Amino acid sequence: MASDSIRGAEEFLKLSKALKAAGHTELRKELNTKLRETGRPLIAKTRAAALGSLPRAGGFAAIVAAEPQRVQVRTGAATAGMRIVVGKRRGGARAANDGTIRHPVFGRGRFVEQQVQPGWFDETLQREAPAVAKKALEEALESVAEKVVKEAR
């Protein structure tokens, strides 16, 4: 599974660089947009995982599920690929993914740390992302290749 993602990232990087070098910035933007669109279903899956894995008491699961998430496409030599970025709210999705949340105790005026099942976000993406990423890359590459061939004629 990891070798597929590495190979896919390398191919994506090569294509992105080639499009930039050839002056096809509009095709490069289209490639990035298509990858972002195809990755959006992963956000729904991480939201569902939050609702299913995190404590519901006090609405914590719903709060984490509602945190802003977006698909980010990167084209750097060491960072080529697609990833899901979660808002930077302290104590939210990131802390819950690490396995510890900090919350107030009702009526006590103090905060406590609570252990939760770690990895709900990472495990969801590790399970779901390979199929989505492969599909996204194939569709985006086909679309861009068709347009390059049409321009060449």
Q: How confident is the model at residue 135 (pLDDT cuts 50, 70, 90)?
A: confident
Instruction: Give mean pLDDT, residues 78-96.
Output: 79
Measured distance CA(111)–CA(94) in Å, rounded: 18
pTM (two decimals): 0.74
Supply the pLDDT for residue 118.
92
115-153: string of b/e by CB count within 10 Å (b at 16+)?
ebeeebbeebbeebbeebbeebbeebbeebeeeeeeeee
Supply the pLDDT for residue 117.
87
2-60 pLDDT, tens digit each: 344 445 667 767 777 777 777 777 777 887 888 888 889 999 999 999 999 998 988 88
Number of separate domains in the chain:
1
Supply the mean pLDDT for the chain. 81
Supply the pLDDT for residue 3.
40
> CA geometry: angle at 63 spanning 59 and 64, to 5°?
120
Supply the pLDDT for residue 89.
66
Range of the domain at 122: 2-152
Residue tagged 């933007």 (tokens): 29
**pLDDT exceeds cutoff 70 at 150:** yes
Supply the pLDDT for residue 45.
93
**pLDDT exceeds cutoff 90 at 105:** no
